[in-house]
Amino acid sequence: MLRLNRRAFNLRLLATGVAAIATPVLMGRASAARPVLIASLLGENKPETKIWFKIRDLVEAKLPGRFSFNIVPNAALGGEKDVNEGLRLGAIQGSLSTLSALSAWAPESQLFDMPFLFRDAAHVRATVTSKPGDVLKAKLEGEGFIVGDYVNYGARHLLAKESLTRPGDVAGKRLRVIQSPLHATLWESFGAVPVGLPITETYNALATGVVDGMDLTKSAYAGFKLYEVVPDVIETGHIWASGAIVFAKPFWNGLSAEEQQVFRDAATEGAQHFNALIVADEVASVETAKAGGASIHAAVDRDQWIAGARKVWAAYAGKVGGMEAIESVQAMG
């Protein structure tokens, strides 16, 4: 609890500091410009930050001089949980978030985390742009998050210090998991020991042996330079990591109808831009990781991986609308 309180304090302090630093710039451009503080977990060269440059430029083109975006990269405003709490407080105006992290407020989002549910990126997009995505938007709005659109981070794969290609290989291993009970249940089904940690603490945890491995997308794997501490990538592709372009409800409610529409349109175009960037970035990320010593392995005994992971379907059906909802998504696209 003390750690979380200190983080909340640091979040407010940093948000205030960034706003203060930006003030002279704002005054130089247009005194009426409203600051928009954006948090990004990764660097300026990654899609997670580039999407906000795109959204900023689209908004500026339609509403010149009305807003001043302050895009803060490299998790300087905290990890996903910290940032999402900042969004609810209104200290941060916008960010990307995995739907996994948002499950703390909307358990229904775990539908999109069901292992081995989605075939490919097109299947994911068809789902988030239909009824399941609309239902989740409404739920999240009630919790203080306005979803501009959804993005696709790519498939999550197992990362380890050795080649754990078979389901039985992970038994007894300590695996860092995103702070979502569903992810913990997934790895428990294979006999692993899940350890919930923010992504910002993962590198050190792997380096010091607190955990033996984790799962993540290839793009983020390279972005956080995790190939330095977990050089083996096992291509399980067990979960497609969906995310949302999220705006703080207090900020959103202060916008006019015209401004809200501009931000919605910018988010939709930004999502398309992000999804295209991720595809290209994943290819480049694999090459970066290989150059840093990473090895890529195919998952073996895939039927056993799928059988073990689908125990999660039964365990979480009641939280995501029932098995019928899961099977409906499976048949979609």
**What are the extents of the domains in the chain?**
2-324
CA-angle at 260, arms to 255 and 262, nearest 5°: 125
Comparing C-alpha atoms, which of 197, 195, 172, 170 is closest to residue 184? 195
Instruction: Return the percentage of the chain with pLDDT > 90, whole number.
Output: 86
5 Cβ neighbours under 8 A, 6+ residues apart:
none
- Look at residue 207 in the predicted model and tell me its pLDDT: 97
- Look at residue 31 in the predicted model and tell me its pLDDT: 53
- Look at residue 6 in the predicted model and tell me its pLDDT: 41
Report the predicted TM-score, pTM, of the whole model to 2 decimal places.
Answer: 0.84
Q: Which residues in the chain come in under a pLDDT of 70?
A: 1-31, 333
Write down the CATH number for the domain with range 2-324.
3.40.190.170
Phi-psi region of 118 (alpha: psi -120 to 50; beta: other; left: phi over 0): beta
- Look at residue 1 in the predicted model and tell me its pLDDT: 28
Contact 103, 300 (CB under 8 A): no
- Look at residue 180 in the predicted model and tell me its pLDDT: 83
Sign of CA dihedral 140, 177, 112, 156: positive
Contact 37, 233 (CB under 8 A): no
Contact 240, 121 (CB under 8 A): yes
Contact 37, 72 (CB under 8 A): yes
